[in-house]
Chains A and B, each alone.
Chain A
Amino acid sequence: GESVGLHLPTLSVQEGDNSIINCAYSNSASDYFIWYKQESGKGPQFIIDIRSNMDKRQGQRVTVLLNKTVKHLSLQIAATQPGDSAVYFCAETRSNDYKLSFGAGTTVTVRA
């Protein structure tokens, strides 16, 4: 089975609000995590990553939080925009592994 999963398959957000997308992972050996965004008809695009020696990492309008105690990962999007409508995947791996394991994804819909 999959070692990474998302809590909710869909999320509806009002434009301008903040979005929080959650992900649970089960492999305690994983030490590197990635969030991808996939727009309709396109391949997944890298958003942000975080290593297990960090709890938080910020990018442009996005923040990833990692809680290793409960094996939980979240992606926060500030001031959600219509262009943020997409499917978001978390992925996990170990530093010495060449493969990623993906969760099933959360579909984010931004309401005008």
Chain B
Amino acid sequence: DAGITQSPRHKVTETGTPVTLRCHQTENHRYMYWYRQDPGHGLRLIHYSYGVKDTDKGEVSDGYSVSRSKTEDFLLTLESATSSQTSVYFCAIRPSAPNEQFFGPGTRLTVL
């Protein structure tokens, strides 16, 4: 998994609770990404980061926030989880060149 870990790997939570997912890389790559994967939708970009404290929104960012205070860590927060956020979440890193991204093992989140 290209030096990428995600924690937790599985989580069950209740609607309305805050949830934070962590992505950690050992490679010191500048670019990091958070995706969600749902049946029939492939991978959809939530947020991405192009450096410490530099982040931007993806196509499905509503209800999510991110933070990156260190190069190696990229956090995804659901401030108030909803059932529609039940999904598998993947973190990815991108070496400076070329454009391919390498993915972590994923976090399966269930919101009841």
Q: Are A44's CB and B41's CB within 8 A? A: no
CA distance A95 to B96 in the complex (A): 12
Q: Which residues of A contact B33 (CB under 8 A)?
A: 99
Q: Are B106's CB and A99's CB within 8 A? A: no
Q: Which residues of A contact B104 (CB under 8 A)?
A: 43
Contact A98/B98 with A42-B106, A44-B43, A104-B42 known, Cβ cut-off 8 Å: no
Instruction: State the main secondary structure of chain B at its contact with A.
Output: strand
Provide the A86-112 mask, 1 if CB < 8 A to any CB of B, else 0: 000100010101111011110000000
Q: Which residues of A contact B1 (CB under 8 A)?
A: 43
Least CB distance from A44 to B in Å reads 5
Instruction: State the main secondary structure of chain A at its contact with B.
Output: loop
Range, interface on chain A: 20 to 34
Q: Are B106's CB and A89's CB within 8 A? A: no
Question: Is B90's CB within 8 Å of the partner chain A?
Answer: yes
Partner among B31, B40, B58, B103 whose Cβ is within 8 Å of the Cβ of A45: B103
Q: Closest A-chain residue to B43, C-beta based? A: A102
Q: Which residues of B contact A103 (CB under 8 A)?
A: 42
Question: Is B45's CB within 8 Å of the partner chain A?
Answer: yes
Q: Are A32's CB and B99's CB within 8 A? A: yes
Q: Closest B-chain residue to A33, C-beta based? A: B99
CA distance A89 to B42 in the complex (A): 8
Q: Are A2's CB and B98's CB within 8 A? A: no
Q: Are B99's CB and A43's CB within 8 A? A: no
Find residues 3-20 in chain A having any chain B CB closer than 8 Å to their own CB: none
26 contacts between A and B (CB under 8 A): A32-B99, A34-B99, A42-B105, A43-B1, A43-B90, A43-B103, A43-B104, A43-B105, A44-B43, A44-B90, A44-B103, A46-B100, A46-B102, A49-B98, A89-B42, A95-B99, A98-B48, A98-B94, A99-B48, A99-B58, A100-B45, A102-B43, A102-B44, A103-B42, A104-B40, A104-B42
Q: Which 9 A-B pairs have the closest CB atoms?
A: A43-B103, A102-B42, A102-B43, A104-B42, A44-B103, A93-B99, A46-B100, A32-B99, A43-B106
